[in-house]
Amino acid sequence: MEKIWYWKIAFTFALVLAAAYYALGSMPEEWQPTFVNTNSRIVLGLDLQGGVRLVYEIDVGKAYSRRTEGYAISARQWAIREAGVAEDKVRTERLGNRRFALNFEEPVAKAEELGSNFERVLKFDGCDEAQTRCLFTLRSEVLESEREVSSAGVLKVIRERVDQHGLTEPNIAAQGMDIVVEVPQRSIEDVNRVKEIISKTASLEFRIVSRESYVDPSVTDYILNDPRFQGKVSLYTRGGGRHLEAQDTEAQSGREILQQLIEAFLVSDVVQRDPVKASQWGRVYVGTQEGPALGSKPGQAGQAPNRWRTYLLEPEIMVTGDRVVNAAVRYDPDAIRDQIYVILDFDSLGGEQFGDATEKNVHRDMAIVLDGIVRSAPNIIEPIKGGTCRITLGAGSPDELKTEAEDLVTVLKAGALPAPLKQPPAAESKIGPSLGRESIRQGLLAAGVGLFLVVAFMGIYYKMAGVFADVALVLNMLFMIGALALLGATLTLPGITGFVLTMGMAVDANVIINERIREELRAGKSPRAAVDTGYARAFWTIFDSQLTTFFAGVVLFQFGTGPIQGFAVTLMIGIASSMFTGIFVTRLFFDYITHKKRPATLSV
Buried b (16+ CB within 10 A) or exposed e, 380-419: beeebeebebebbbbbbeeebbebbbbbbbbbbbbbbbbb
Contact in structure between 71 and 107 (CB atoms under 8 Å): no
How far is residue 61 CA from its own chain's centroid? 25
CA distance 493 to 371: 38
Beta bridge partners of 431: 51
**Residue 313: which pLDDT band, with cuts at 50, 70 and 90?**
very high
546-564 pLDDT tens trace? 888 899 888 888 877 667 7
**Residue 335: which pLDDT band, with cuts at 50, 70 and 90?**
low
The predicted pLDDT at position 168 comes to 52
* Nearest to 371, CA basis, from 561, 173, 204, 576: 204
CA distance 276 to 266: 12
pLDDT at 22 over 80: yes
Long-range contacts from 358-363, C-beta under 8 angstroms, 24+ separation:
358/382, 358/383, 358/384, 359/383, 361/208
**Residue 298: which pLDDT band, with cuts at 50, 70 and 90?**
very low
CA distance 182 to 575: 30
Out of 182-186, 500-504, 583-587, pick the least confident. Answer: 182-186
The predicted pLDDT at position 397 comes to 67
Query: 2: burial class by Cβ within 10 Å (0-12, 13-18, 19+)?
Result: exposed
The predicted pLDDT at position 36 comes to 67
pLDDT at 410 over 60: yes
pLDDT at 525 over 70: yes
Out of 4-13, 39-48, 517-526, 563-572, pick the least confident. Answer: 39-48
Out of 178-187, 406-415, 580-589, pick the least confident. Answer: 406-415
Q: What percent of the chain has pLDDT over 90?
A: 2
DSSP letters, 484-523, are: HHHTTPEE-HHHHHHHHHHHHHHHHHHHHHHHHHHHHHHT
78-130 pLDDT tens trace? 888 777 888 778 888 888 888 998 888 888 777 677 777 788 888 888 888 88
What's the mean pLDDT in 365-388? 82
**Residue 302: which pLDDT band, with cuts at 50, 70 and 90?**
very low
The predicted pLDDT at position 37 comes to 59
Out of 183-187, 218-222, 359-363, pick the least confident. Answer: 183-187
All domains of the chain in start order, with CATH: 3-50+436-597 (1.20.1640.10), 61-142 (3.30.1240), 202-415 (3.30.1360.200)
What one-character DSSP code corresponds to residue 580? I
Query: 422: burial class by Cβ within 10 Å (0-12, 13-18, 19+)?
Result: middle
**In the sheet that 339-346 helps form, which strands lie side by side, from edge to edge?**
324-332, 339-346, 388-392
Contact in structure between 569 and 495 (CB atoms under 8 Å): yes
Higher pLDDT: 232 or 498? It is 232
pLDDT at 358 over 50: yes
The predicted pLDDT at position 415 comes to 64
SS3 per-residue string spanning 206-252: EEEECCCCCCCHHHHHHHHHCCCCCCCEEEEEECCEEEEEEECCCCC
pLDDT at 347 over 80: yes
pLDDT at 458 over 50: yes
Percentage helix, strand, coil, to 5, in the chain? 50, 20, 30
Higher pLDDT: 161 or 92? It is 92
Between helix 493-522 and helix 437-486 the angle, nearest 10°, is 70
Using DSSP, how many helices (H) and how many strands (E) does the chain show?
Answer: 17, 21
pLDDT at 292 over 60: no
The predicted pLDDT at position 3 comes to 74
The predicted pLDDT at position 187 comes to 62
Cα torsion 322, 328, 331, 332: sign? negative
pLDDT at 478 over 60: yes
The predicted pLDDT at position 217 comes to 86
pLDDT at 406 over 80: no
Residue 356's CB is within 10 A of a number of other CB atoms, namely 14
Give Cα separations from 422 to 99, 154, 400, 426 (angstroms).
Answer: 22, 12, 25, 8
Long-range contacts from 300-308, C-beta under 8 angstroms, 24+ separation:
303/396, 305/247, 305/248, 305/249, 305/254, 306/247, 306/248, 306/253, 306/254, 306/255, 307/245, 307/246, 307/247, 307/248, 307/254, 308/245, 308/246, 308/247, 308/248, 308/253, 308/254, 308/255, 308/257, 308/258
Give Cα separations from 325 to 161, 287, 376, 415, 416 (angstroms).
Answer: 16, 25, 21, 10, 12
* Nearest to 257, CA basis, from 265, 248, 266: 248
234-248 pLDDT tens trace? 888 776 678 899 988
The predicted pLDDT at position 239 comes to 64
pLDDT at 173 over 60: yes
CA distance 334 to 211: 33
**Residue 416: which pLDDT band, with cuts at 50, 70 and 90?**
low
Q: Which of 214-218, 272-276, 326-330 has the highest mean pLDDT?
A: 214-218
The predicted pLDDT at position 291 comes to 43
DSSP letters, 128-171, are: -TTS-EEEEEE-HHHHHHHHHHHHHHHHHHHHHHHHHTT--S-E
Beta bridge partners of 244: 235
**Residue 296: which pLDDT band, with cuts at 50, 70 and 90?**
very low
* Nearest to 194, CA basis, from 397, 490, 418: 490
Residue 479 phi, psi dihedral angles, 5° rounding: -65, -40
pLDDT at 307 over 70: yes
Mean pLDDT score across all residues of the chain = 80
